[in-house]
A and B are shown apart, each in its own frame.
Chain A
Amino acid sequence: MTELWAVVLVLISGVYGGLAPIYLKRGVESFQIKKFRTYFNLLKGFFIYVTGALIFIFALKGGELSVLYPLVAFSYVWTCLYSKLMLKEQMNKYKWLGILLVVFGVMLISLGTV
């Protein structure tokens, strides 16, 4: 039986973990090898990745993998939303539809795996 708190926690880890690639992107765009300051965004990105994964692993205690694993796919939607808001990237209906297809595809593969 999967507990509601575990589902909520996995969704939260997606909302949070979706931020990680935003900082990796910022980090790599402003990267200069001799300036320590420019490593900061990359480190922030890695930190969010790792802590997000830890939240997910903790959530696994409260439910079945077959329910919780496919929910991870939602983080791709969040990342695109953050890219639009924080990096001012342009989205359009083709890209949104593509994201939806990718998310459903990842969910189906996850469902077929576990």
Chain B
Amino acid sequence: MKKSGALIFVLISTLFISLAQVLFKLGSETLQFNFSLLINKFILGGFLLYGLGAVLIIISLRGQNLTFIYPVITTSYIWVSLLSVYVFHESMHFYKIWGILLIIFGIILIGLGDKNNIRKPKLVSEKEVNHD
């Protein structure tokens, strides 16, 4: 996958992960620790979105540097901060605003600094497989 394609995959995945956390929160508000935990539609939906997000991230890792993809996952913190303002009317602490800005600048720096050295991780992983 191209770098831009992988980036879009990860960003969609972070949206899924953030929505999953919002669903968990919605589910937890009516939660009782008995069997209803397993059939709570918010909790189940949350797990489903988490799973989809994980699959998207793993697919996007193929052929990309982990040191590029992994920090991008922190955009889920940004979505959660914004979503919790709109969905739960939580306050926007100024720490959060600074945190969001730092994450955005950090990811841009990593993206600009990242050169795709696709061959090296492949060689290492093939070696690993032979050892197993």
Contacts and interface: CB of A to CB of B under 8 A. Distances in A.
Given A105-B77, A108-B96, A109-B81, A84 B58 contact: no
Interface in A49-91: 76, 79-80, 83-84, 86-91
A97, A107, A111, A113: which has the most chain B beta carbons within 10 Å? A113
A100 interface: yes
B125 interface: yes
B24 to A, nearest CB: 14
B95 interface: yes
A102 B65 contact: no
Contacts of B129: 30, 37-38
Interface bin, chain A: 35 or more
Interface of B: 57-59, 61-63, 65-67, 70-71, 74, 77-78, 81, 84, 93-96, 98-115, 117, 120-126, 128-129, 132
Contact of B110 (A42, A98, A105, A107): A98
A95 B67 contact: yes
B109 A89 contact: no
Contact of B126 (A30, A79, A100, A104): A30
B102 A102 contact: yes
